[in-house]
Structure 1
């Protein structure tokens, strides 16, 4: 498929609500739940319950305005700082945080968390904790050396990056360059959690096809090791759904810590 006309997420933007409806909602025809919701939720629960990834600051730098991956993290960090590359995603996120009319409904994701953790009676409390934690939303520009310029963020104990690196990288050199910028925000010994689609070239949002960098697990591993990381855990889930909205082959979850 010719990808020359595909749009770049951080350059052209996209319909943030349509993205959520297509890939993260509870609509009957939304076929991606196993990959986009259940798999990362299960992996993050296992990761954080080990107890060694915690601290003062978590930085979240992900594509779009989804928040379901933060339900597990909010229990282990005093502050969560969310970075977004475009204003529409910031507005979409703040609409949910402030419980405004028309906010995207995340109750189905909260329910998945509660069922996995065996704490269905604490559903409202869990949503309240996430909302309280999401008070620090910062605009960022991945092209700047300090992506949050003019703000200097304190170093993070952990960074979660989901789908963004593939969405903003035109080639593998770009991927390494952006990965280096993101991980510079970590404390020595800090952890980097990466969730990405493998072997994909596009995501469809309305009539637009959004560029995604095609790469495999081996490339991701080598990229992290090249930046001074030790990989603690890697899990890949093969795609089982059928949809022409996107062409990914699998979902990858990596946990790594920085050693130099």
Structure 2
């Protein structure tokens, strides 16, 4: 699932393409939304809230989307026949065929938003909702402080943390935006055992790991390839994330991966047992094959 900094960049691209522009055609291919008519609506802004995308319209509606595991928004130039599009408010067959030829099959498309200049295509989206802007809290009100917000309330986020610290960082109700990559990398860099109880850690330690995550994510906002090591080459950009079975860059111990979190909401946590204080609960220490090897 994309991290908050990836969603932030997605929102920035959507905002640049759509803000201040009128929708001349639109399709929402989602149960309950397929008859919604957004033609003639103007996008005011596209903003992130943690890992959620909020496209606010001048009509008082917000189009909410979430990428989940496989979703993405793509921006392309609009075919130069906007008159036909505007007349029907739908995407014509020629455009459907061109999208299919570009590897974006119609089965993958969940939303098409067309302006005179740009088209935003939502592919394999995990969530899509249309709500009154005044009622956005029904969709995102459960989220904790947004780690990338200028007014991020770090003390409130830290106060929200409970249970194993790795799982607590991933719980979007505590603080919004951190995913498995930045949780794993931040805990490693701070030398914290992911399964340590948050309540057993002193406030300075919790402050350190949350501040580290925020610094890393903020530093990566301008870049498509995320890095905690300073290297943007594939295979060199992380210390532990996606490196199970490979040697720790610090001590040479084999990096391990284990599930963390409550049942039905488990997530992968990568860690170094030497640098971070031991094996995960239930990890028998057996040799691991490097991730991606055969």
TM-score interval (norm. to shorter): under 0.3
* Structure with the higher helix share, 1 or 2: 1
* Structure with the higher strand share, 1 or 2: 1
Q: TM-score, normalised by structure 2?
A: 0.26
Indicate the structure (1 or 2) with the bigger Cα radius of gyration. 2
Higher relative contact order (CA 8 A, sep 6+): 1
